[in-house]
Amino acid sequence: MNVLHMRYAVEVAKAGSISKAAEKLLIAQPNLSRAIKELEEELGIAIFERSSTGMTLTPEGEEFLGYARKILSQIDEVDRRYKEGAAFKQRFSICVPRACYISEAFTRFSLGLSDDPAEIFYKETNSQRTLNNLLYADYKLGIVRYARDYDTYYQALLEEKGLVGEQITEFHYVLLLGRENPLAQKKEIHFSDLRPYIEIAHADPFVPSLSMAEVKKAELPDDIERRIFVFERASQLELLAENNKTFMWVSPVPQTLLDRYGLVQRVCVDNRRVYRDVLIRKQNYRLSALDRQFIAELEAAKNTCHITSV
């Protein structure tokens, strides 16, 4: 297999079109198109779907690109180490759900890094992408979140994929609110109290391979008429702090973050569903010193999440 052709495929996927990739690679478009076609014929798959708007990855292409990026990264590392005399780098990589206690742990972890060269990757995403990144994109650790009802499903899935999991924590979702939100002043909050408010929600389903309809049946009440979907935590925290008509379901939050943004967390008495955060890795992967350092911070951060009452 031609390594150069793999690099071409990676660049086309990044650019989204042959013309843009050819411009970046400084080669003629027909030559690039031919190289991609030869690679697809050699593999026996279609890496890209072609349309008038550009090139998008097929499911097989996305899987192949995961392997290709890993191979190219290793080749580049060999070049750096033996041809360029690069110094050894500490490496750490993890994919996680969007949870404040996990980001708190990562912040503390970063403060403990030595002065040695380091490459650290921290990606917030959903469970499906976490699994894909461990299997195909060379991430070493992941944290998946799911309702305890799905435990049997997840145990079978991890075993099938050659992964192992270790539970970090088990919890009920709580309500995250601005301090001036009228809900924050109630002594007892029910599902019905939430209907006039705007829910801030992450736009990712929790359970890979299940339909959105099935996921919604297992999640929290779906009778909220107004929602704002976000993909990262900074926006959600600003919205909750500034807009007193908003609320969000979250895993318990460290007090330091609540104080920083002027937020409170409250129990909803109707919510009884239990969720789990599970640390996953490949079965043959041995934890590094940095991995163990992060896990220790994760345990410490988890223990700082106390829920206050009015």
- Report how far apart, in Å, the C-alpha atoms of 271 and of each of 160, 219, 251, 277 are: 32, 10, 13, 18
- Report how far apart, in Å, the C-alpha atoms of 126 and of each of 144, 176, 177, 301 are: 8, 20, 23, 21
* Rounded average pLDDT over 233-262: 91
* Rounded average pLDDT over 231-255: 89
Residues 72-96 have pLDDT tens digits of: 888 877 776 666 655 567 889 999 9
* Rounded average pLDDT over 187-204: 89
* Rounded average pLDDT over 176-197: 94
Domain 90-170+276-302 in the same topology as domain 3-83: no
What pLDDT is stored for residue 224 in this prediction? 80
CA atoms within 13 A on the CB side of 14: 13
Confidence of residue 206 (pLDDT cuts 50, 70, 90): very low
Confidence of residue 211 (pLDDT cuts 50, 70, 90): very low
Contact 252, 263 (CB under 8 A): no
What pLDDT is stored for residue 83 in this prediction? 63
* Rounded average pLDDT over 207-214: 44
Q: CATH assignment of 3-83? A: 1.10.10.10
% of the chain residues with pLDDT over 70 = 89
What pLDDT is stored for residue 216 in this prediction? 43
Distance CA 258, CA 307 (A): 10
Domain ranges of the chain: 3-83, 90-170+276-302, 172-273
What pLDDT is stored for residue 86 in this prediction? 56
Confidence of residue 310 (pLDDT cuts 50, 70, 90): very low
User: Does domain 90-170+276-302 correspond to CATH entry 3.40.190.10?
Assistant: yes
Q: Dihedral (C-alpha) 41, 161, 231, 173: value to the nearest 10 degrees?
A: 160
Residues 253-271 have pLDDT tens digits of: 999 889 999 999 999 999 9
* Rounded average pLDDT over 55-65: 91
Distance CA 93, CA 53 (A): 34
* Rounded average pLDDT over 107-127: 90
Residues 4-59 have pLDDT tens digits of: 899 999 999 999 999 999 888 888 899 999 999 999 999 999 999 998 888 999 99
More confident residue, 281 or 88: 281
Distance CA 86, CA 95 (A): 27
214 pLDDT higher than 60? no
Domain 172-273, CATH homologous superfamily name and number: Periplasmic binding protein-like II (3.40.190.10)
218 pLDDT higher than 80? no
* Rounded average pLDDT over 134-148: 91
What pLDDT is stored for residue 81 in this prediction? 67
